[in-house]
Structure 1
């Protein structure tokens, strides 16, 4: 589900700023190292707004490539440091996952999927209650933010126990 940390017109953060540098040094990098996840604080400054990338997801989803597109966009931003607010970059990424480049680019430039993205945001915020990322929905329980393995396992076990038939 989409979630925009700082939707337009709110300004996005700058990677050279104290907040991002400190947060990444103290939390993101250590956690990523412990999990073996390659990640870099993208140097794009200011950080891009993500609405065009999410509109691109709506196009990709409609064409059966939503997961592949999302994976590629996240990798491009968090591993390669590419500007995912740029239509040209998004078009290249869409092409890499097998989407029609000219059609994708036209859809993004024309904002063809703007309303679909807005509906998806409304659903995420108002119907599901997404308040941060990542967010895990396990049965009726919602866990916002990065969770350790034990917390997730307990939530899953509790949900499974509720669903299991009771033995008498």
Structure 2
């Protein structure tokens, strides 16, 4: 893990992004459900950015309900409505569909990008890697 974060930090330094070296593996189920709520409300990218920063830079537990509520509220989402939707299972089918798709494409690590249902880019890759695949 230490080598992985060293490599990621080497690549991300030029963008001003620092990774903390996470020593906590969070249960991300609720965070994924909350992301679906944010997507529905047109705030996915803001939510995802804060979630990513909280976990990878600050080393926080993104499975913590309090943190998810705080992030939602900070970007103008209704935290109580979000929790109600998470608790009533509104987004479970979205995650089941994503899991089905990941199984179909044999995804076994993240991030994995599937391009044109033909090419897979796995892991933290350079922009050049993406350009090469997109030019195919």
Residue 70 (structure 1) aligns with:
48
TM-score normalised to structure 2 length: 0.82
Cα 1:24–1:103, aligned 2, differ >3 Å: closer, same or farther?
same
Report the Cα offset of residue 138 of structure 1. Answer: 3.1
Residue 17 (structure 2) aligns with:
37
2:102 is the counterpart of 1:121: no
2:57 is the counterpart of 1:57: no
Cα 1:153–1:90, aligned 2, differ >3 Å: closer, same or farther?
same
Cα 1:125–1:35, aligned 2, differ >3 Å: closer, same or farther?
farther
Residue 107 (structure 2) aligns with:
130
Unaligned runs of 5+ in 2: none
Cα 1:96–1:31, aligned 2, differ >3 Å: closer, same or farther?
same
Distance 1:111 1:54 in 2: 12
The structure with more radius of gyration? 1
TM-score normalised to structure 1 length: 0.68
Report the Cα offset of residue 69 of structure 1. Answer: 1.4
Please say if residues 87 and 108 of structure 1, whose CA atoms lie closer than 8 Å, have aligned partners that are also in contact: no
More helix by share: 2
Distance 2:48 2:132 in 1: 28
Residue 163 (structure 1) aligns with:
none
Report the Cα offset of residue 110 of structure 1. Answer: 4.3
Aligned alpha-carbon RMSD (Å): 2.2
Distance 1:120 1:155 in 2: 23
Count of residues in correspondence between the two structures: 135
